[in-house]
A and B are shown apart, each in its own frame.
Chain A
Amino acid sequence: MSAASSRKIEFIAVAVIATFLIVGLPLLNAYGFVDNFWINVWGKYLCFALLAISVDLLWGYTGLLSLGQSMFFALGGYMLGMHLMLMIGEEGVYAKAGKNPELLPDFMVFLGHTFLPAFWRPFYSFGFSALMVVLVPGLLALAFGFLAFRSRIKGVYFSILTQALTYGAALLFFRNSMLMGGNNGFTDFKFILGSDLRTGATQRGLFIATAVTLLIVYLLIRWLSHTKFGLVQRAIRDGENRVLFSGYATAHFKLFIFTLSAAIASVGGALYVPQVGGINPSVMTPEKSLEAVVWVAVGGRGTLLGPILGAIVINALKTWATVRYPDYWLIILGGLFILVVLFLPGGLVSLPKRLAPLWKKFRAPAAPTASTPAV
Chain B
Amino acid sequence: MPRAILTVEDVSKTYDGFKAISNLNFYLQEGELRVVIGPNGAGKSTFFDLITGRAKPDKGKIEFGSDPMTHSDLTGMNEYEINRLGISRKFQTPSVYGEHTVWDNLVLSIKGPRGVFASLFRKLNSTERDRLDELLKLIRLDGKREWKAGLLAHGEKQWLEIGMLLAAEPKLLLVDEPAAGMTDEETHRTGELLINLSGKHSIVVVEHDMAFVKQIARDGNVTVLHQGTVLCEGKFDEVQSNQKVREVYLGRGKHGTR
Contacts and interface: CB of A to CB of B under 8 A. Distances in A.
A38 interface: no
A228 B119 contact: yes
B58 interface: no
Nearest to A228: B119
B108 A231 contact: yes
Interface string A204-246: 0000000000000000000010011101101101110111111
A interface secondary structure, majority: helix
Interface string B120-136: 11110000000000000
A252 B78 CA distance: 14
B13 interface: no
B83 A247 contact: yes
A234 B99 CA distance: 8
Interface residues of B, number: 29
Contacts of A256: 116
B107 A245 contact: no
A256 B117 CA distance: 10
A172 B89 CA distance: 47
A246 B109 contact: yes
Contact of A247 (B100, B122, B123, B168): B168
A229 B115 CA distance: 9
A256 B118 CA distance: 13
Question: Counting chain A CB atoms within 10 Å of each CB, which of B108, B122, B164 scores highest?
Answer: B108
Contact of B164 (A238, A241, A246): A246
Contacts of B26: none
A152 to B, nearest CB: 10
A248 interface: yes
A121 to B, nearest CB: 36
B138 to A, nearest CB: 19
A239 B105 CA distance: 12
A231 B95 contact: no
A229 B119 contact: yes
Contact of B107 (A228, A239, A242, A249): A228
Which of B83, B115, B119 has the largest number of chain A CB atoms within 10 A? B119
B108 A229 contact: no
A253 interface: yes
A328 to B, nearest CB: 37
A235 B89 CA distance: 17
Interface residues of A, number: 24
Given A242-B96, A242-B97, A249-B114, A229 B168 contact: no
B109 to A, nearest CB: 6
A228 B99 CA distance: 15
Nearest to B149: A238
B84 interface: yes
A238 B108 CA distance: 13
B94 to A, nearest CB: 10
A232 B97 CA distance: 10
B109 A227 contact: no
Contacts of A237: 99
Contacts of B91: 241-242, 245
Given A228-B122, A241-B91, 19 more contacts: A224-B120, A227-B121, A228-B120, A231-B119, A234-B97, A234-B100, A235-B97, A235-B100, A238-B97, A238-B100, A242-B95, A244-B79, A245-B83, A245-B88, A246-B80, A246-B108, A246-B109, A247-B80, A249-B114
- 7 closest Cβ pairs, A-B complex: A247-B83, A228-B119, A229-B119, A242-B95, A244-B79, A247-B114, A235-B97
18 contacts: A227-B121, A228-B120, A228-B122, A231-B100, A231-B104, A232-B108, A238-B98, A244-B83, A245-B83, A246-B80, A246-B108, A247-B84, A247-B114, A247-B168, A250-B80, A252-B116, A253-B119, A256-B116
Interface of B: 52, 79-80, 83-84, 88-89, 91, 95-100, 104, 107-109, 114-116, 118-123, 164, 168
